[in-house]
A = this chain, B = another copy of it.
Amino acid sequence: MAQKPSIPKGTRDFSPVEMVKRNYIFDTIKEVFQLYGFMPIETPSMENLSTLMGKYGEEGDKLLFKVLNSGDFISKVNEDQFREKNSVKLTTKIAEKGLRYDLTVPFARYVVQHRNDISFPFKRYQIQPVWRADRPQKGRYREFYQCDVDVVGSNSLLNEVELIQIVDEVYKRLKLNVLVKLNNRKILAGIAEIIGEADRIIDITVAIDKLDKIGLDNVNKEMFEKGIPQEAIDTLQPIILLSGTNTEKLAKLKEVLSASEVGMKGIEELETVFNYLADLDVTTEVELDLTLARGLNYYTGAIFEVKSKDMEFGSITGGGRYDDLTGIFGLKDVSGVGISFGADRIYDVLEQMERFPAETVNTTKVMFVNFGEKEEKYCLPILAHLRANGVKSEIFPGSAKMKKQMNYANDKHIPFVIMVGETEMEEGLLSLKDMDSGEQTKLTPDQLVEKLK
């Protein structure tokens, strides 16, 4: 071989079979988004590094893929800077653009840049790849798709409700059983407020989350070891042991958080959301989970997470409300709420649960075996007729060996094969073979179209 071809680590090729399965997921998600009035946007793969840097923390800055300036980039670096030989500093001189790291920051940039053309509330979805220079490992890629859906410019909790309805509808259509976990940042703020440990809320939620595994004593011990005062731990006991229905949990929380204005506001928000859901036909279980604290520094109200009930798989969808998304680009007081579907994880769940519908993989419905010029001439108008009726169909190009042609149909999961030889041509018929059952029937061209369309 001249050159053994490969692709960069952490990236993937998608074969036709993988593509149709992925498109099944994306199409399902898109259809539901549109059903709820969301519309697509796309942003460029490259953003200015000034847009991206500093938005994902110090670690995030490192994980950005930077694109080298074109032309004689090094001539623009002055001699002192050059001699320093410092990769971080040099990067700012030789790279002005980076690949997007998520869809949230480009979306915030989009909203600010186009704010005069946008009619708020802006309901948009965006399905595009993102890139991260993470160490690749099983299930973690350097290029992967995100599917984000957000509403910005509306404080209504109806948006939160509709996002849960979207989750419900998407997973119903994908035939996956999921559990929606719901929390509210304001309740966590309330808890921190009443125990006087505002900056310890992550330690607390992490400890509480272990209750089932390690038991109450160990949870309390862990919190104490992390430096949370005994008095605060005592106050936390009813919250750690919170159980029962969502209504029961909220009632208990109201007692504990009665002194915290922000905490009570969080409870009210959750109650509103649960009341909406009770009136609507949402069959997916929605559970109040105080240990849910994802993206804490970012979210200001509702926090969502969706888990597969069919198998242990971590979060397959998540999101929340953020009150100042666009502030980083100078546009204040634009509240938003959104969720992101993890397409790669949904793919893995569907694959392992064997829930991909069988028909997704066969994209071509019927193949004509090619026996030679004369037979081809007989078949082509029938093929055209099938296609005119919307039947995905093909003829093997050229008269290869029968075995090769049948293997091709097999590999491509084509469910029907048509064979036309001397006999069929004389009779004006076609032999149709069902590749699954092996059954063979003779049909007129019209009967064939009728059967397959």
Given contacts A40-B19, A119-B408, A397-B121, contact A68 B91 (CB under 8 A): yes
Closest CB of chain B to A324's CB: distance in Å? 11
CA distance A396 to B19 in the complex (A): 36
A312 within 8 A of B: no
A159 within 8 A of B: yes
CA distance A74 to B376 in the complex (A): 61
Given contacts A281-B384, A380-B279, contact A6 B48 (CB under 8 A): yes
A185 within 8 A of B: no
Which residue of the partner chain B has the closest CB to A77? B85
A159: contacting residue among B4, B94, B381, B397, CB under 8 A = B397
Contacts of A321 in B (CB 8 A): none
A46: contacting residue among B8, B86, B281, B387, CB under 8 A = B8
Which residue of the partner chain B has the closest CB to A155? B398
In the bound complex, do residue B158 and residue A392 qualify as a contact, i.e. CB atoms below 8 Å apart? no
A37: contacting residue among B42, B85, B124, B364, CB under 8 A = B364
Which residue of the partner chain B has the closest CB to A42? B14
The interface-forming segment of A110-118, A241-249, A420-428, A433-441 is: A110-118
Which residue of the partner chain B has the closest CB to A37? B394
Which residue of the partner chain B has the closest CB to A22? B42
Contacts of A380 in B (CB 8 A): 276, 279-280
Contacts of A14 in B (CB 8 A): 40-43
A174 within 8 A of B: no
Given contacts A13-B41, A68-B65, contact A47 B7 (CB under 8 A): yes
CA distance A165 to B329 in the complex (A): 49
Which residue of the partner chain B has the closest CB to A397? B156
Contacts of A328 in B (CB 8 A): 2-3
A252 within 8 A of B: no
A62 within 8 A of B: yes
Contacts of A129 in B (CB 8 A): 45
Closest CB of chain B to A159's CB: distance in Å? 5
Closest CB of chain B to A121's CB: distance in Å? 6
In the bound complex, do residue B40 and residue A20 qualify as a contact, i.e. CB atoms below 8 Å apart? yes
Task: Give 9 closest A-B pairs by Cβ, nearest first.
Answer: A37-B394, A1-B330, A11-B44, A16-B39, A156-B398, A119-B411, A156-B397, A2-B330, A19-B40
Interfacial residues, chain A to chain B (CB-CB below 8 A): 1-8, 11-16, 19-20, 23, 34-37, 39-48, 50-51, 62-63, 65-68, 70-75, 82, 85-87, 90-91, 94-97, 99, 109-110, 112-114, 117, 119-121, 123-124, 129, 131, 133, 142-143, 151, 154-156, 158-159, 162, 165, 169, 276, 279-281, 327-331, 363-364, 367, 376-377, 380-381, 384, 387-388, 390-398, 407-408, 411-412
Apart from the given pairs A13-B113, A72-B87, 19 other A-B contacts in the complex at a CB distance below 8 Å: A1-B329, A5-B112, A6-B113, A7-B46, A7-B109, A7-B113, A11-B45, A13-B42, A19-B42, A20-B39, A23-B40, A35-B393, A37-B392, A65-B68, A68-B94, A75-B87, A120-B408, A121-B397, A151-B397
